[in-house]
Amino acid sequence: MLKNLLVILGLMLAVPALAQDEVATLGNDIYKAGQSVRMDEDGRDDAFLAGERVRLAAPVTGNAHMAGRWVDIGAELGGSLYAAGQRVRIEGAVAGDAAVAGYTIAVDAPVAGDLRAFGSEVSVMAPIGESMILNGEIVELDAPVAGDAVISTRELTFGPGARIDGTLTLYEEEVGTLVVPEEVVPAERITRIELRYKRVSGAFQHPDGGDKRSFGEVAADYLTWGVVIGLIAAVAALIAPKAMGGFADDLAARPFRNVLSGFLGLSVLLGGGVVVALTMIGALLTPFFWLAALALGLAGLVVGAFGLGAKVLSFAPALSKSWISRVLAGVVGAMLTAMIGLVPFLGWIALMAIVAAGAGTVSKRLPILSRLAD
């Protein structure tokens, strides 16, 4: 599911820049982008479509990933559907699951698997083969649902064809306000839950801004990840003492330059994920760029904490065993980093500087990023 959501995100990032139509094939999959996109080629496995007007007009045997302003699924799908747009309309049967997000969503053809729909106005007029999750300001159901259903809405309407064979869970702003006819689902199979979050344009926001955590809870979280980072840094220093020592020396000698290098390295990876998303085939690589940025950031945190600990311990008397010093550098540096992060406002800035500095020393060892770091 995460992979598919990332693909949808990549497609949505591409939409504003689609000035010219582009078509590409990879294996038996098809990729199309443009102002107005229509996929009418038979025999395709998966379809990846993005544009202002997007329509699937020919059946595909696999999955369809679609993003645009107006999105229409006018042909049958042998797999699952992942679609996002201002208006999404399902007119072709879906053999798998359907995950849909938009302002207006209309399900006018059967979905054999699960349906998950999130929008402002959601209407389901065709049978759902398994479970269903609906979230919207206005929800209308006029079809049978074979499994369980979860509905969160302000206004709920049932047509004569509505039926839920499983359980129904209703999230209401005031419990008992939504009317559910007995023929749709008996009262004993309905669970009503008070919605703790108020709606803001179809989304949710806690009326009091969320539960405020105490300083003790926040400090416990920071110290916990400080221990984890410290253990990782200590193990890394034991396994690769020369490399970690070199990182610490580099940090001490050029701290500000390393912060800049780390910022550039992380920006290249994060920005690269957006840039490759502008090409339809490249959109598949976007998750890997962002995972690489995450890995570099985590490595930067470990290296930055170790460098901080090594600098602090340099003012203390030398220990007889060098490996003990390396372990202490990792643990002490990580705990100091955690405590720095607890300082209001300035602590967060300092923490980001430590991460960027560590990422800078690491990126200079990576051939792809080293040119920017030098």
Quick one: tokens of 309?
């600990």
Strand (E) or helix (H) holding 52: strand 47-56
Q: What are the backbone dihedrals phi and psi of residue 295, each rounded to the nearest 5 degrees, phi first?
A: -65, -40
pLDDT at 1: 39
Amino acid at 327: V
For residue 142, give Cα distances in angstroms to 108, 139, 154.
Answer: 10, 10, 17
Contact (Cβ atoms closer than 8 angstroms) between residue 39 and residue 58 = yes
Higher-pLDDT residue of 207 and 282 is 282
pTM of the model: 0.53
Alpha carbon 210 to its chain centroid, in Å, reads 21
Residue 372: is its pLDDT beyond 90?
A: no
Grade residue 10 by pLDDT with cuts at 50, 70 and 90: very low
Biggest CA pair distance of the chain: 83
Maximum mean pLDDT: which of 47-51, 343-347, 358-362: 358-362
Task: Give dist(CA 357, CA 300) in Å, integer.
Answer: 7
Tokens of 141: 């159901």
Percent of the chain beyond pLDDT 90? 28
pLDDT tens for residues 114-140? Answer: 999 988 899 999 999 999 999 888 999
Residue 273's pLDDT band (cuts 50, 70, 90): low
Percent of the chain whose predicted confidence (pLDDT) is above 70? 79
DSSP letters along 156-221, please?
Answer: EEE-TT-EESS-EEEEESSTT-S---TTTS-GGGEEEEE-SSEEETTEEE-TTSSPPPPHHHHHHH
For residue 162, pLDDT over 90 is answered with yes
- 106/134 Cα distance (integer angstroms): 12
And the tokens for 239?
């396994």
Residue 374, pLDDT score: 46
Give the type of residue at 136. Answer: G
Residue 143 scores a pLDDT above 70 = yes
Q: Which helix (H) or strand (E) element contains residue 48?
A: strand 47-56
Residue 241 has pLDDT above 50, yes or no: yes
Which among 360, 357, 341 is positioned nearest to 349, based on CA atoms? 341
> Which positions ≥6 away from 161 have C-beta within 8 Å?
125, 142, 143, 144
Distance CA 301, CA 288 (A): 20
**pLDDT for the residue 164:** 96
**CA gap 307, 249 in Å, rounded:** 8
Is 369 a residue whose pLDDT tops 70? no
Domain boundaries, the chain: 2-205, 215-373
